Structure 1
């Protein structure tokens, strides 16, 4: 893409100055990272936009697609794409991509960190140490090694989590829409069956209507009072009220969440509990990952406008 023929790109998510400068070398960038700017830019410039960069949370609606008659390429920066109007976009011949797999290592690292933090009570013991409490006054915590790990959603991230679990000698089971070829982990045909088998359950499935509250009271009860839950997918997959009740009543031993319903507001039902570890949707973020996701978007867009196959199509 040369300077004369740069396609107009509408960016709907917050980016750093560095990211914007990187994109500006390839596109004429329209930056609208919040709702008022989004509405204003679409009204004034929508007819000239040929590409959109968004993410799964912010999405892209059918009405917004209709406001951009020249739109031919849209992408989610990360792996998630639950709020993109995919069918409407495809019906208009719009090419679609995401950042599948680009942040998988980072998310998998964070999932194991949350699991260890919850199982070993790292935040609570850190606070106790700072307060001068010695180990004799604290409860002993379980060992992670050898426990059965269930992975709900065996995509790029799920596979990376399984690889890390091998270092802890953990038997691994998983539930997916269908069994994966070439996977040594044990397949379960339902979330409930997986939870009944597991000591620890990590949620790595996509968000959206089809997975909303997939982890409900029945699944949490199947995981049981010695069980641990980690969610690094989307907050909507776990029933927050059911999780809070299970933790409060001792029907679940602990949890670690990087995502939760109602983001970015803190999960009020959970923040007062001492058997949960919370991080603010940071599992997939790091400087190197962010740079890689921007490069992945540029690669996909460049290939699209050159008439070539996308690297990570939807």
Structure 2
């Protein structure tokens, strides 16, 4: 993923030049255009911002609103505002060293990502990818109804299977929102692993168990999460600390009927190891919203070749409401940082640089 590089600060004129790397739509652009102090330069096309255009226009800019793919250098920036919850694409150390402000868009996409996580779990468990492919290829007539045709493990509990254990790698806002959506399916246990440096939250876990009438909400080591989970959701931050946290060793510990869902960062999952796990039946299926190296994911990609891997193209936050809210937050962060005021969502840069 590209890095955001910042080399030096310069004085700016009374009007503040702002570069916007994508038109943010009719509901959000008026927030920026309505500020006479801002001189807007907007990338005019609905595709990734051209690097040459960006480099030509960033000179003298006080602020920039970027997407996940944008790369900036040689600027007078005061603020970088990214329309994303993750900021791995930003050179945070450089931002902190130069005393710049960094805005991002957490919270607003929690519900959308949680919704999609549950969808992926259902699709992967019930062979949704295979079923859709059969219909779209006109092959339904080749698959007459059979007692166990297209069957997969049921997410909800039954009289014969009264226990369902849901696991999370990462147990922040999105994971907890996903858990809440799973409660009506009869989930009985929640297991999770989180950053070893984070303090235990036994009181919160007990409150969640009581609130959702679960037998337990428990923090355990990552190996136990893998062994015990019927569905394992990967909802942790990216970065070097979580790179390929889901690897062959971990996948071999999972149940043959278990489902893996990744709606966080592609780098958390070793694609080759996951493809091998699906091919050899270590796990039942996988639902993937993010893939390492995306969008360079062709028909020859090892995960695309696996019928039991349902892949969607990084659309977890892709609801009209959420993207509008993310764009609004990105604009508000930039306006507050340049014109004075409290940024709605500012990255804490203490400890960087």
TM-score norm. by structure 1 comes to: 0.87
Deviation at 1:16, TM superposition (A): 5.4
Q: Distance in 2 between matches of 1:124 and 1:241?
A: 20
Give the equivalent residue in structure 1 for 2:218.
186
DSSP 3-state at the match of 2:191: strand
Q: Which has the larger radius of gyration?
A: 2
Deviation at 1:292, TM superposition (A): 0.6
Give the equivalent residue in structure 2 for 1:285.
318
1:249 and 2:267 correspond: no
Aligned with residue 304 of structure 2, among 257, 262, 271: 271
TM-score norm. by structure 2 comes to: 0.78
1:84 and 2:90 correspond: yes
Q: Distance in 1 between matches of 2:15 and 2:34?
A: 9
Unaligned 5+ residue runs, structure 1? none
For the 8 Å contact 1:50–1:72, the answer to whether it is kept is yes
Aligned with residue 200 of structure 1, among 222, 225, 231: 231
Assess, with a 3 A threshold, how the Cα gap between structure 1 residues 287 and 142 changes in structure 2: closer, same or farther: same
1:145 and 2:156 correspond: yes
DSSP 3-state at the match of 2:102: strand
Assess, with a 3 A threshold, how the Cα gap between structure 1 residues 7 and 163 changes in structure 2: closer, same or farther: farther
Spell out, residue by residue over 1:8-57, the C-alpha distance to the aligned partner (whole angstroms, 9 max, x if none). Answer: 22233x44553674343444332357788333432x333311112123x3
Aligned with residue 174 of structure 1, among 171, 192, 199: 192
Give the equivalent residue in structure 1 for 2:145.
135
> Which residues of 2 match residues 115-134 of structure 1 at below 5 A?
115-128=121-134, 131-132=140-141, 133-134=143-144
DSSP 3-state at the match of 2:85: coil
Assess, with a 3 A threshold, how the Cα gap between structure 1 residues 85 and 19 changes in structure 2: closer, same or farther: farther
Deviation at 1:134, TM superposition (A): 3.8
DSSP 3-state at the match of 2:310: strand
Looking at both structures, which has the greater relative contact order when contacts are Cα pairs under 8 Å and sequence separation is at least 6?
Answer: 2
Assess, with a 3 A threshold, how the Cα gap between structure 1 residues 141 and 295 changes in structure 2: closer, same or farther: same
Higher helix proportion (structure 1 or 2): 1
1:97 and 2:125 correspond: no
Range that drifts further, 31-40 or 251-260: 31-40
For the 8 Å contact 1:119–1:141, the answer to whether it is kept is yes
**Cα RMSD for the two superposed structures:** 2.4
DSSP 3-state at the match of 2:233: strand
For the 8 Å contact 1:192–1:218, the answer to whether it is kept is no
Unaligned 5+ residue runs, structure 2? 1-12, 158-163, 209-216, 348-353
For the 8 Å contact 1:191–1:214, the answer to whether it is kept is no
